[in-house]
Amino acid sequence: MDKILVVDDNKNIRFTITEFLIDNGLTPVESPNGSIAVDIFKKEKPLLVLLDLKMPDMNGIQCMK
């Protein structure tokens, strides 16, 4: 099944998005920051990434690069 990577430093936002995806038959993978997201992206190769742009360790633009 195709995975969707959810990247946000706010755990409540990640939870809400993840629950929505699960309720709609999708497979979410969570990351609390951009650094971890890069590693997960390389390993899991998700179909889609939902990415917060404002995060403390690495912002969304840096993460996309």
Instruction: Calculate mean pLDDT across residues 28-35.
Output: 94
**pLDDT score recorded for residue 1:** 72
**pLDDT score recorded for residue 23:** 96
Q: What angle do CA 19, 6, 11 make, to 5 degrees?
A: 70
Q: Whole-model pTM above 0.75?
A: yes
Band (45; pLDDT cuts 50, 70, 90):
very high
Band (17; pLDDT cuts 50, 70, 90):
very high
Burial class (CB in 10 A: 0-12, 13-18, 19+), 63: buried
